[in-house]
Amino acid sequence: MKNILLIIVIFSGAIAAQDMRQNAFSSLFSDYKANRVGDAVTIIVMESSQATNQAATQTGRSSNIGLGADGSMDGEAMIPSVDFGMSSQNDFEGSGSTKSAGSVSTKISATIDSVYSNGNLKIHGSRKISINGEEQTVLISGVIRSIDIQSDNTVYSYNISDAEITFEGSGMIDRNQSPGWLTKLFHWLF
């Protein structure tokens, strides 16, 4: 009877054997980090950009041509004096300056699309917010390293390689900020 009971315990343990990775999320000693297709991560978007460009040009050109003649004959007959002069000047001065700054801060959830052979994870996510007819859509995609995932399954946006973060808006405010079709036609023609 003991032998039969021992054989049943051994076979039931072999039949119900589980992968260690399956039980990692329920362990008291380890944190579960997203690492499989379909797992969710939270992206903390903290992006800021600044760009400044300045240019200055100054050129000048000047030229003078002169011709003068004066004469007399035996002191009695005076030959009229001839004087000729020509001058040209060309100056140009130009300058330009551009400055751009932007800042974005938000959180968005993304899911893992695929796992590369080196352990990197391809992610994508989107969020659509609609308030009073104004829609704002945030799209994000890129590649993250599993080591950059924090214990609470968050990743900072500056740790995403090949990151594409897009903010799109539509609604009354968006329509009023863009020029009308007649203005666009005149800008295209001229």
User: pLDDT digits over 106-133, tens only?
Assistant: 889 999 999 999 989 999 999 888 888 7
Q: What does residue 184 show for φ and ψ, rounded to 5 degrees?
A: -65, -40
Ramachandran sector of residue 101 (left: φ over 0; alpha: ψ -120 to 50; beta: rest): beta
The whole-angstrom distance between residue 27's C-alpha and the CA centroid of its chain comes to 40
Ranking 52-56, 146-150, 164-168 by mean pLDDT, the lowest is 52-56
- CB-neighbour burial class of residue 142 (10 A; exposed 0-12, middle 13-18, buried 19+): buried
Give the whole-angstrom CA distance, residue 181 versus residue 102.
28
pLDDT at 75 over 80: no
pLDDT on residue 99: 81
pLDDT on residue 27: 54
pLDDT on residue 81: 62
Give the whole-angstrom CA distance, residue 41 versus residue 107.
10
Q: 35, 43, 42: which is closest to 118 by C-alpha? A: 35
The whole-angstrom distance between residue 104's C-alpha and the CA centroid of its chain comes to 11
Three-state DSSP at 80 gives: strand
CB neighbourhood size of 35 (10 A): 15
Which residue in this structure is represented by tokens 């050129």? 59
Tokens of 158: 């500056």
pLDDT at 38 over 80: yes
Q: Given pLDDT bands bounded at 50, 70 and 90, which one contains residue 156? A: very high
- At 115, which amino acid appears? V
Residue range 2-18, pLDDT digits in tens: 677 667 766 665 555 55
pTM above 0.75, yes or no: no
